[in-house]
Structure 1
C-alpha cells in the first residue's frame, strides 16, 4: 500500500529548532510543536472511573457499569476528555491524514505515560494496536492506532506487535451505536492467530478514542482467554457518558 507509512521511517521531519504551534500558529520558542498556553488549555481528563476512565464527579471511584459488569480489561489509561480541540485534532489525524497532529498527540501521550510509569503504573510487555479491517485500511491508507502504537513504542522503548491481532470481518462503523449494538456488531470480527504468544504477558491495547469500551472489551476478552495475565487500554481520549 503506497500511502501506508512504514514504521522504519518518520512520517515527517521532527526538527530540533523553534517550531510553530500546531494549534495557534504562534512560535513555541522551543523544539516542541505546541506552545505552553495551548497545552495547558487542552481538556485534560481529571476525575475518572478507576477502571474504564469514564469522567466522574470525583476521583477514587468506580462507575456503576464497572461495578456491576466489569470489562475484561484491567485499566484504561487516557489523557484527555474527547472535547474541543482534541476531538478536532483526532478527527483530522484519523480521517484527513494530518499525521503531524497524530505525532503531536502521541508525543504528549508518551510524556503522560512516562509520568505514570514513574508513579508506579506497570509497564506493559508489548503494545498491540487495535486492528483495522482490510477494506477500510485500503480506503484510508493507514491505521491510526498502529501509528500511535509505533510512536509510543519508539518513545517509551516498548515493543509493538501489529500482527498479533487481526480484524477478519468487515463491520459497519461503530459511531452512533449504543454499547449493546456495538458488541453485536463485533461478533466474530477479530482473531488471535497465535494465542500462545500472549500467554503470561502484560499487554496494552492502543487506540485513539474510547467510547463505550466494547471493542477494547472484546479484544481484552480474547487476550485473557489466551492466557494474558494483564490487559490495559491506552487511548488518547475518553468520551463522557451520553447525556453528561
Structure 2
C-alpha cells in the first residue's frame, strides 16, 4: 500500500498553523515546529571525521578507517549523531509514518546545508535518495530517503532524481548485520539506470542515518563507475562505533 497521497495534507497541518513544538507540545516561537529549548537538546554533531562524519573525540581529524582506505564518497554531512531524542524522532517518522517529524528534520538539514554552501561546501547538481528494496517498500508504503530528498530538493533548489538508482536484489536488513556482513550484503545490490545522466556531475546521496557507511560506500562506487565526478552523502544522523559514547 502506498500512503504517500496523504503526505501533503499531513505536512500542511504541520507547517501552516500556529507552530507548536512537535517534541514538547509547547508554543514553538519560531517558524519551524520546534521550540528553542528542544532544538538545543538535539544531539548536535560537532567533533567528527572529516570524511565519514564518524563521531570523534576531537574536531578536524580523519578517522583511522578513512585514512587507511579512503571511501568512494567525498564527504558525509550530518547535523546530528544518532542519540536521544533524535533516534526516537527518526524512528517515529520511519516506522510510524509520522511525516511531519521527517519534514521538520529535513527543513533543519536544509538550513544546515545552506549555511555550509555559503561557507564553501561544493553544491551538488543532483540529489539521489538511497533506494529501498521492493519488499520493504511494499511493507512500509514509502521510502523515507525519497521523502527527505524531495523536501531537501525543494528547500535547496537542487534537482532530485528518484528513479536513477535501483536496488537490484533483496538483501537482509542492514540493522541485523555487523560491519563486514553489511559490506558483503551490498555487493552488486545497486545499479544506475542512465549513465549519461551522471557524466561529470557532482551528486549527493540522501539517507536518514549512516551507520557503518557500507550502503553509502557501495552506492558511491557504482555512481563513480557510472561517471559521477564527486559523490557526497547527506543524512540526518551518524552513529558512533559500537560501545562508543
The whole-number CA distance in structure 2 between the counterparts of 1:188 and 1:112 is 33
- Give the equivalent residue in structure 1 for 2:11: 12
Moved over 4 A (4+): none
Deviations 1:151-203 (A, max 9, x none): 00001111000000001211110013122100111122111121121110000
Identify the residue that residue 135 of structure 2 maps to in structure 1: 135
Q: Does 1:231 align with 2:222?
A: no
Q: TM-score, normalised by structure 2?
A: 0.95
Aligned-residue offset at 1:15: 3.7
1:28 Cα deviation after fit: 1.2
Work out the CA distance in 1 between the residues paired with 2:159 and 2:168.
Answer: 24
More helix per residue: 1 or 2? Answer: 2
- 1:199 matched residue in structure 2: 199
Who is 1:54 aligned against? 54
Moved more, 13-22 or 120-129: 13-22
CA distance in 2, matches of 1:39, 1:31: 13
Which 5+ residue runs of structure 2 have no aligned equivalent?
A: none
Tell me the residue number matched to 2:89: 89
Distance verdict in 2 for CA 1:128–1:32, change over 3 Å: same
**Counterpart-to-counterpart distance in 2, 1:10 and 1:240:** 36
2:72 aligns with: 72
Match of 1:35 in 2: 35
Partner of 1:44: 44
Equivalent pair of 1:5/1:11 in contact (CA under 8 Å): no
Matched ranges for 1:166-177 at <5 A: 166-177=166-177
SS of match in other structure, 2:62: coil
Partner Cα separation in structure 2 for residue 156 and residue 46 of structure 1: 23
Matches within 5 A, 1:155-174: 155-174=155-174
Counterpart mapping for 1:206-225 below 5 A = 206-225=206-225
RMSD: 1.4
Tell me, yes or no, if the aligned pair for 1:128 and 1:161 is still in contact at 8 Å: yes
| C-alpha contact (below 8 Å) 1:130/1:207 kept by paired residues | yes
- Taking a change above 3 Å as real, the CA distance of residues 134 and 111 of structure 1, as seen in their structure-2 partners, is same
The answer as to whether partners of 1:53 and 1:77 remain within 8 angstroms in 2 is yes
Q: Normalising to structure 1: TM-score of the pair? A: 0.96
Q: Is it true that 1:125 corresponds to 2:125 in the alignment?
A: yes
